[in-house]
């Protein structure tokens, strides 16, 4: 029998995402992958995986999943996110916080609660979500209808292949890691800052922008001071990067995210530094956002610091206080009746 | 004048000019070939576009400053470098139900639909870049008489395989998608199939010649294409 995590309720926009599909941009295929790859890495490390393993990205409203395997170890990451482990009748049994692993047996259900302050949460499964790789990645690219589970967001009744049982490693937690939105998102100017007026650059760096509800995995659409073009808004298309701030004719910036097009015909006034791109996935529609400029060398140093931090996480894991509680939890689920009926 | 532009802390863009033209594209593709051959440390991906080459790098391995120093000496003599690529012959059916804009293109160009088809199939196009959608080829240059700006209002849905023109470019839609170009035909070729190897058929630098086919020929090739038993033919060429 295939081991799976069954989707009881899909949530608002839940997709399989990993570290991304690198190497295909020259052929027009975006990188995709987790919007917040720092949170993805944290969830994976706590679950005992590689930082870039495939997990569930849950946006706005999380899914409810049911264990259809002997056992499964789960770990969640995200601002204010928590996991609610529920019995067969749907009554809350136990709340497990972010960055703390928990092992569930067959028939148990877990509801992902995206925190009130957050937009995204990442649910990692020990051993990873084992959907097939497409072009070297398990990430879902919904616009291209490939990757993840059939190239789409999860739907009720889906079954995600996983390993058959949790390992014996015990439960872990990762202290001292937070996913707060950054107060001012750091950018480097360019590549086309010379296509804008001096006032536009000043407005970008001095103004406040609001994240609009039209934002999605392709881009964060902002509303704020109009950024005026000095040489028109139509350029011969060139390549884009994740974090590029492109400005269409209406002067309202769009920050390109994981599913953003690989090329584009609007000038790009600035680029969000790669260390701050993950934080863009933590800002709610309606929330405010400001930018500040740094040099490319500072941006490179920030990225190196971030990678060193992530690389240190496996050594910083602690035994979870709930390690003993999870034994009790397993028993609760064993006697819930659901487990008996399906085992 | 060539400029090296910053695109954040993970990419540099070597810009050869601000317009789309063959001369610039050839320089872009020549630099792309040089960097692909020399593979400087830390380079992750090379993205050739109409007028620039974007070099993605790993900032934990190299830096923009180091990479700029590596790239600058490679900019000399690009125009003399021969470009290798494949030349594809891709069949297109220009039948009216596949070509909702053919009549308008003909009228606005002062030509008959037959003349539009003859012109569209009269030249070899070069793939300057792939973008917009996985496998979407920007091919130039469309003969002068056929150059029209994009449609005022884009269509919300353009069928996969649609052959389109806009200004100096022609393309084939790899997937069903919204689109603003003028649709003048349809090809049975599937440019992008995620599960196929190769997933993307065409590459930057390749050349494409369109060949007109009848509706009956289209139907037969389309059937084979769906079954995965037909792909257009290509020859290695150098120019």
ipTM score: 0.91
Sheet harboring A13-17: ordered strands across? A13-17, A55-59, A120-125, A71-77, A102-105
Interchain proximity A303–B59, CB inside 8 Å: yes
Chain A partners of B174 at a C-beta cutoff of 8 Å?
28
In whole angstroms, give the CA distance from residue A272 to residue A184.
Answer: 11
Secondary structure percentages of chain A, helix, strand, coil, to 5 = 20, 30, 50
Average pLDDT, chain A: 91
Average pLDDT, chain B: 95
Rounded to a whole number of angstroms, the distance between the first and last alpha carbons of chain B is 24
In whole angstroms, give the CA distance from residue B12 to residue B68.
Answer: 8
List Cα–Cα distances, B222 to A4, A220, B15, B134, B214, in angstroms: 38, 39, 40, 20, 12
pTM: 0.92
Per-residue pLDDT at A338: 37
Smallest Cβ–Cβ distance between A300 and the set B9, B45, B199 belongs to: B9
Interchain proximity A144–B133, CB inside 8 Å: yes
Contact call for residues A339 and A72 (beta carbons, < 8 A): no
List, as ranges, residues 106-165 from B with C-beta within 8 Å of A.
Answer: 129-136, 138
Task: State the Rg of chain B over Cα.
Answer: 19
In whole angstroms, give the CA distance from residue A190 to residue A30.
Answer: 21
In whole angstroms, give the CA distance from residue A114 to residue A103.
Answer: 20
Least confident span in A124-128, B19-23, B132-136, B220-224 = B19-23
Query: What band does A211 get if pLDDT is binned at 50, 70 and 90?
Result: very high
Q: Structure tokens of A228? A: 């005026």
In whole angstroms, give the CA distance from residue B180 to residue B8.
Answer: 30
In whole angstroms, give the CA distance from residue B64 to residue B42.
Answer: 10
In whole angstroms, give the CA distance from residue A262 to residue B200.
Answer: 15
Alpha carbon A245 to its chain centroid, in Å, reads: 20
Core vs surface per residue B146-167: b (16+ CB within 10 A) or e: bebebbeeebeebebbbbbbbb
Query: What band does A339 get if pLDDT is binned at 50, 70 and 90?
Result: very low
Interchain proximity A188–B46, CB inside 8 Å: no
Task: Give the count of beta carbons closer than 10 Å to the beta carbon of residue A298.
Answer: 15
Q: Which residues pair with A38 in a beta bridge?
A: none
Contact call for residues B97 and B124 (beta carbons, < 8 A): no
Contact call for residues A83 and A125 (beta carbons, < 8 A): no
Q: CB under 8 Å to A222, separation ≥6 — which residues? A: A209, A210, A211, A212, A252, A253, A254, A255, A289
Interchain proximity A271–B18, CB inside 8 Å: no
Per-residue pLDDT at A341: 33
Q: Structure tokens of B73? A: 């000496």
Q: Please indicate whether residue B238 or residue B236 has the higher confidence score (pLDDT).
A: B236
* Selected residue of B134, B156, B171, B202 to mutate for chain A interface (largest A Cβ count, 10 A): B134
Query: Helix, strand, or coil here: A134?
Result: strand
Interchain proximity A271–B7, CB inside 8 Å: yes
Query: What band does A88 get if pLDDT is binned at 50, 70 and 90?
Result: low
Residue A334: pLDDT above 90? no
Chain B partners of A21 at a C-beta cutoff of 8 Å?
none
Orientation angle between helical segments B102-109 and B113-120, nearest 10 degrees: 90
User: On the CB side of A79, how many CA atoms lie within 13 Å of its CA?
Assistant: 19
Chain A partners of B199 at a C-beta cutoff of 8 Å?
24, 27, 29, 135
């Amino acid at each position: 029998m295939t081991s799976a995590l069954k989707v009881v309720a899909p949530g608002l926009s839940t997709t399989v995402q990993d570290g991304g599909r690198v190497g295909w941009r020259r052929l027009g295929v975006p990188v995709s992958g987790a919007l917040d790859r720092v949170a993805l890495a944290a969830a994976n490390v706590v679950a005992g995986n590689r930082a870039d393993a495939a997990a569930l990205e849950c946006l706005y409203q999380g899914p409810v999943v049911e264990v259809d395997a002997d056992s499964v170890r789960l770990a969640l990451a995200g601002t204010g996110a928590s996991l609610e482990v529920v019995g067969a009748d749907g009554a809350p049994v136990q709340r497990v916080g972010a960055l703390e692993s928990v092992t569930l047996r067959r028939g148990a259900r877990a509801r992902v609660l995206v925190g009130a302050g957050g937009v995204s949460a990442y649910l990692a499964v020990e051993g990873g979500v084992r959907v097939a790789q497409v072009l070297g990645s398990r990430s879902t690219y919904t616009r291209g209808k490939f990757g993840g589970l059939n190239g789409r967001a999860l739907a009720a009744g889906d079954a995600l292949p996983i390993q058959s049982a949790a390992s014996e490693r015990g439960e872990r937690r990762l202290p001292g890691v937070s996913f707060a939105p950054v107060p001012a998102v750091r950018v480097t100017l360019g590549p086309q800052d010379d296509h804008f007026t001096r006032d536009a650059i000043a407005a970008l760096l001095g103004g406040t922008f609001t994240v609009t509800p039209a934002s999605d995995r392709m881009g964060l659409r902002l509303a704020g001071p109009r950024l005026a073009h000095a040489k028109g808004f139509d350029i011969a298309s060139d390549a884009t990067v994740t974090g590029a701030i492109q400005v269409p004719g209406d002067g309202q910036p769009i920050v390109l995210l994981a599913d953003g097009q690989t090329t584009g015909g609007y000038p790009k006034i600035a680029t969000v530094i790669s260390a701050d791109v993950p934080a863009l996935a933590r800002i709610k529609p309606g929330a405010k956002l400001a930018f500040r400029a740094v040099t490319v060398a500072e941006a490179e140093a920030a990225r190196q610091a971030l990678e060193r931090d992530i690389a240190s996480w496996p050594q910083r894991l602690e035994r979870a206080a709930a390690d003993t509680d999870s034994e009790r939890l397993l028993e609760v689920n064993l006697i819930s009746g659901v487990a008996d009926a399906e085992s | 004048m060539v400029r090296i532009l910053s695109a954040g802390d993970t990419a540099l863009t070597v810009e050869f000019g601000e317009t789309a033209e063959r001369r610039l594209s050839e320089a872009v593709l020549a630099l792309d070939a040089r960097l692909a051959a020399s593979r400087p440390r830390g380079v992750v991906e090379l993205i050739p576009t109409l007028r620039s080459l974007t070099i993605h790098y790993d900032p934990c391995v190299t830096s923009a400053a180091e990479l700029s120093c590596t790239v600058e000496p490679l900019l000399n003599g690009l125009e003399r470098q021969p470009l290798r690529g494949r030349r594809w012959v891709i069949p297109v059916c220009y039948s009216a139900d596949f070509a909702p804009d053919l009549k308008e293109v003909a009228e606005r160009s002062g030509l008959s639909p037959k003349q539009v088809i003859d012109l569209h199939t009269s030249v070899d196009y070069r793939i300057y870049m792939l973008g917009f959608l996985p496998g979407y080829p920007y091919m130039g240059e469309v003969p002068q008489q056929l150059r029209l700006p994009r449609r005022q209002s884009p269509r919300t849905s353009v069928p996969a395989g649609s052959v389109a023109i806009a200004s100096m470019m022609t393309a084939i839609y790899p997937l069903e998608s919204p689109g603003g170009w003028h649709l003048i035909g349809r090809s049975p070729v599937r440019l992008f199939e995620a599960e196929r190897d190769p997933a993307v058929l065409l590459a930057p630098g390749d050349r494409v010649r369109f060949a007109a086919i009848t509706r009956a020929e289209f139907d037969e090739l389309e059937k084979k294409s769906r079954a995965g038993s037909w792909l257009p033919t290509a020859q290695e060429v150098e120019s």
